[in-house]
Structure 1
């Protein structure tokens, strides 16, 4: 089985990222959408500049998280922050995802699909409609009050079916929502997504915790 990829999302602090420079991280997530983890383009640029000093293998790609942006907003951020991924976390249509790919051909486009607690796709689906317009799909727990970041899990027994559908359209499947160092090993061992995305699960009192980040990454890379 291929080693799962790991994304640490919602980074804001330079010192936290400096403490991660020797960890095997595949993606870091920078939130540009309204959120308590929202970051300015200026701070994001400062964080991304640290990636050139990554101490292990290939440095992670920076993923910018947006909710229902327009092309102008994306272009403005990309002119200041060299993102490797645009992660669309709202109700963006397949047609809009294609517009983004065309406008920014050197950047991956990921689409987050919200999934209810019982595993049902909410707005943004069905996954198959995004075939050819995105480079990855990310499942996150549906929250009617916000686009992601709920810190709650959904029915993981649905993951294998989603992964099969993702394989059919030729993209990897990431899972987010309620992941922690204590449960990510179970998710990977039992349900086999291609990657995992964590934010609140590696925080203590709302701040990123390097001990939890390290433990989470170790669990993923050992699974």
Structure 2
């Protein structure tokens, strides 16, 4: 089970996340309290191992601006949380994660429109497109005939619910931000415990198969 720690704003936090087993880190370039400047993200990216995905989060940004930030921030993937069309996603130079807000079973049908590298299933839109610390009804995924795409589960994951979320949804990756924060800042102890829980839960699932 892979883990992405999103909303990274400093090198120390990024290095702790990687040392604890994170497979990807996320930089937010959309409106958010966790927003980071592209050059600052780039300074962090170059000091992380090459096998770690560096993912930029955008909302309804222009293609030109995304491509500019990809270069400055040394991104390996982009995550799109806005109203981006399948054609827009396919036009970018790096692999794309398309985020979809899930309120009902019907929203899952949107997955079929996209041929992106991965699909991120997130909670309904709040103040921001993502990063609102709320979850959707995971049981909507039980018995659903999801296409053969890599599913990332996001929205309201934390130390208390991530094991259950994995057991219900069986995602390819889980994505956490506010769930590993204390007073609005990343908490390295919470990150460590979160990553341990995810890795242990996925190991147990493999054993039980």
TM-score when normalising by structure 1: 0.84
Name the counterpart of 1:154.
136
Q: 5+ unaligned residues in a row in structure 2: which ranges? A: 202-209
The 1:213/1:119 distance shift into structure 2, 3 A limit, reads: farther
Q: How many residues align?
A: 201
Q: Does 1:142 align with 2:114?
A: no
CA distance in 1, matches of 2:77, 2:68: 15
The correspondence for 2:68, drawn from 38, 61, 76, is 76
Residue 112 of structure 1 aligns with which residue?
99
What is the correspondence of 1:55-74 to structure 2 with a 5 Å cutoff?
59-74=51-66
Instruction: Could you tell me which runs of 5 or more consecutive residues in structure 1 were left unpaired when the two chains were aligned.
Output: 53-57
Task: Work out the CA distance in 2 between the residues paired with 1:12 and 1:146.
Answer: 17
Q: 1:126 aligns with which of 84, 94, 110?
A: 110
Q: Which secondary structure does the structure 1 equivalent of 2:41 belong to?
A: helix
RMSD: 1.7
Deviating beyond 3 angstroms after TM superposition, the runs of 4 or more aligned structure 1 residues are none
Structure 2 SS opposite 1:138: strand
Which residue of the partner structure matches residue 147 of structure 2? 166
Distance 1:159 1:50, change over 3 A: farther
Match 1:213 to one of 191, 205, 208: 191
3-state DSSP class of the match of 1:153? coil
TM-aligned CA deviation for residue 149 of structure 1: 1.2
Structure 2 residue 23 is matched with structure 1 residue 36: no
